[in-house]
Copies of this chain bind each other. A is one copy, B any other.
């Protein structure tokens, strides 16, 4: 049947008209370009008949647009990021965009490389969860006119849109809540990281502790793999078991490690220790006793991010929109039965 791949050229040849005409018709510019209804019908019918699909590579080469969005997250296998990926994919799909994803593993070099690859693939826009050290690279990207939305954290001196949650306030309030519940020795277990979201969570804790005249107890965990992480947390909890009565984990996987450790150590929630996790997790709802958490609005984050990007893609060139959008979304503090006194 289909001897040769059907192209705009073969259609033009078969129909005895010019390539240009076919292209105009296919791009819906028939009216504008004064193509007769006759010809339009002829082309449309034939296109349907042979099932022609334009070659998007050729089109992209010519137009510079690829209808592709680059999604660069820390780790696509983290529930938080895969949930976001799902939402973003869905929305983008409806607007005719495909998604290419990659995980940075918080590796600066890999991230830069990824950006280069995406640039080369002529991705139309970027949604990035950046590690440290890519500020310059992202600024280049923005300067080159590509829309960029930074997610989950923000970068100082980067003129890109970003969508984050109010990390500082969230942790401040969570801490305040624990204080209100009568806890006096509240520890924070957090990542040893300079990323904005971690720094802000830390600050929120420190400020709340300070505002209440308490003393901070902070343990920094390196971004190591699960085994070592858990061991580190376990050691810490064991050592401090009697010195602390509540602990806030700055990410959900730290909390999971913490729960495992506590289980092994025989520390009970909330008798021995109250627990609060930043970022909710299905597990926390079902754990016994259920774990209180700071829940991030995944849908809102995704929606804001992709909408911001799509908006920029639409009004490309419109200098009207040089304004940078910094969106800060509220979290939800979910107090679960008996996870605190």
Contact residues of A with B, CB < 8 Å? 53-58, 60-61, 66, 68, 75-79, 81-83, 85-86, 89-90, 93, 98-103, 116-117, 119-122, 256, 259-260, 263, 282-283, 285-288
Total identical chains: 2
Identify 10 residue pairs between A and B in the complex whose beta-carbon atoms are under 8 Å apart, listed by A's number: A54-B120, A56-B122, A57-B66, A61-B61, A86-B103, A89-B101, A90-B103, A98-B102, A98-B121, A286-B287
A76-B86, A78-B82, A263-B286 known, 12 other contacts, Cβ within 8 Å: A55-B61, A56-B120, A57-B121, A61-B61, A76-B76, A79-B82, A82-B85, A89-B101, A89-B103, A93-B102, A98-B117, A283-B286
Of the listed residues A79, A283, A285, the one surrounded by the most CB atoms of chain B closer than 10 A to its CB is: A283
Q: Flag if A120 contacts B77 (CB, 8 Å).
A: no
Q: Flag if B99 contacts A101 (CB, 8 Å).
A: yes
Shortest distance from the beta carbon of A47 to any chain B beta carbon, whole Å: 14
- Tell me which residues across on chain B come within 8 A of A56, comparing CB atoms: 120-122
- Tell me which residues across on chain B come within 8 A of A55, comparing CB atoms: 61, 120, 122
**Beta-carbon nearest neighbor of A60 in chain B:** B57
Shortest distance from the beta carbon of A36 to any chain B beta carbon, whole Å: 29
- Tell me which of B81, B100, B103, B122 contacts A98 (CB under 8 A): B100
- Tell me which residues across on chain B come within 8 A of A103, comparing CB atoms: 86, 89-90
- Tell me which residues across on chain B come within 8 A of A121, comparing CB atoms: 56-57, 98
Taken together as a complex, chains A and B put the C-alpha atoms of A288 and B283 apart, in Å, by: 11
Taken together as a complex, chains A and B put the C-alpha atoms of A76 and B61 apart, in Å, by: 30
- Given A121-B98, A286-B259, decide whether A82 and B77 contact each other with a Cβ distance below 8 A: yes
- Given A56-B121, A76-B89, decide whether A286 and B256 contact each other with a Cβ distance below 8 A: yes
Shortest distance from the beta carbon of A233 to any chain B beta carbon, whole Å: 14
Shortest distance from the beta carbon of A316 to any chain B beta carbon, whole Å: 17
- Tell me which residues across on chain B come within 8 A of A122, comparing CB atoms: 55-57
Shortest distance from the beta carbon of A185 to any chain B beta carbon, whole Å: 25
Q: Flag if B85 contacts A76 (CB, 8 Å).
A: yes
Q: Flag if A120 contacts B76 (CB, 8 Å).
A: no
Of the listed residues A68, A86, A116, A288, the one surrounded by the most CB atoms of chain B closer than 10 A to its CB is: A86
**Beta-carbon nearest neighbor of A83 in chain B:** B77
Shortest distance from the beta carbon of A166 to any chain B beta carbon, whole Å: 24
Taken together as a complex, chains A and B put the C-alpha atoms of A102 and B98 apart, in Å, by: 8
Q: Closest 7 CB pairs between A and B?
A: A82-B82, A77-B86, A57-B61, A283-B283, A77-B83, A77-B82, A56-B120
